[in-house]
Each structure stands twice: as C-alpha cells, then as structure tokens.
Amino acid sequence: MAITRERLQQTFSENGAQEIYQEVKVEGDFLGFARRYVFDSDDRVTRSALWGLAKASDKELAGLQVLLNELIVQAMQTENSSVRRLTLNIIGRLKISEDDLRTDFLDFCLERMASIDEFPGIQTICMKLAFHMCQFYPELMGEMKRTLETMEIDYYKPAVRGLRKKILLRL
C-alpha cells in the first residue's frame, strides 16, 4: 500500500507506524518522505509521518540533518503536543554541533523543561537537548544548573525528576 497524505491522516497504532517506517525504508528515501509529510498543514499527517520516522535507526535519520532548522522551527511553533514531542525526539537523534546552536531553541528548551504545564515526555527531551547545547559553552552550564535547581521537584513526574538528578550530578 502506497504512502499517501490520505493514509497518513488516519490514526495509526504502533503497528501502523512500523508499517510506514518499513515502506519508507524499502523506498530508501527518508529525506523525501520527511520533506513531503513532516511539515504538512494537517497535524495528523505530520504526527503519523513523524511516528513512522521515529522507528528509523539513527543512521537512517542522519539524512534528515539538512532539515534540522526546519524541525527546530516546527518544534517551537506547533501547538500540537504530539507533533512537538515527536519532532523533538527526531531533533534529539540528529547531530547538533556548536555551529547549529540557536539561542532561541536553547531558551525554548530551558523554558519547556521547567514548565509544569508541559507533558513529561517534552520536558525530558527538552532537558536532554538543553544540556547538550549548554555543553558547548561553559558559561551556559551555570544557567542550566540554576534552572534545574530552581525547579520545584514535587510538581514533576518521576522521569523528569530522575533525569534532572542525573544531569545535576554531571554539572
């Protein structure tokens, strides 16, 4: 069955996401698939495309490196929490070098990781991304540490608390 926009508009199960991944893998065009569907105006299409891509290996996703800035913009601008979480997960699997550092994205991650209104999956990936980006500049590590220390830990889920503790031990 061919991958179409209409097909991606359907709600997928885990098996559906795996099927999408397998079809993209056979085609061998992860970048083309991402360009066609990851930035669609319909959040259902975008979510399904991202979920399928999330099944790919890091090596397969490496071809999406050229989309890093577009993915960052999408993560910061979307109102859909599923699209945000999946996009952030893809970003987290790409290489972010010192030259890729965007202060607006770092600020976004620092804000979202500490926001008690954010979903835990988004908080944790933002915490990982912020920590990674701060490592490029020692002066930013202080900001990271202050942000983590000011988090009222009782308001967070265990996954967020555990990651916070691990990162604080590394600072």
pLDDT greater than 80 at residue 44? yes
pLDDT at position 14 is 87
pLDDT at position 4 is 87
In the block, tokens 């991944």 appear at: 21
**Where does the pLDDT of residue 120 fall: very low under 50, low under 70, confident under 90, or very high at 90 and above?**
very high
Percent of the chain past pLDDT 90, that is, above it, reads: 83
Both tokens of 115, joined, read 């926001």
Higher confidence at residue 171 or residue 134?
134
Higher confidence at residue 88 or residue 2?
88
pLDDT at position 126 is 97
**Where does the pLDDT of residue 138 fall: very low under 50, low under 70, confident under 90, or very high at 90 and above?**
confident
* Cα–Cα distance for residue pair 27/145, rounded to 1 Å: 44
pLDDT at position 1 is 61
pLDDT greater than 80 at residue 20? yes
Average the pLDDT over 21-25 and give the result. Answer: 94
* Cα–Cα distance for residue pair 170/80, rounded to 1 Å: 32
Cα 17 to chain centroid, rounded: 17
In the block, tokens 């020692």 appear at: 138
Model confidence pLDDT, tens digit, residues 90-113: 999 999 999 888 999 999 999 999
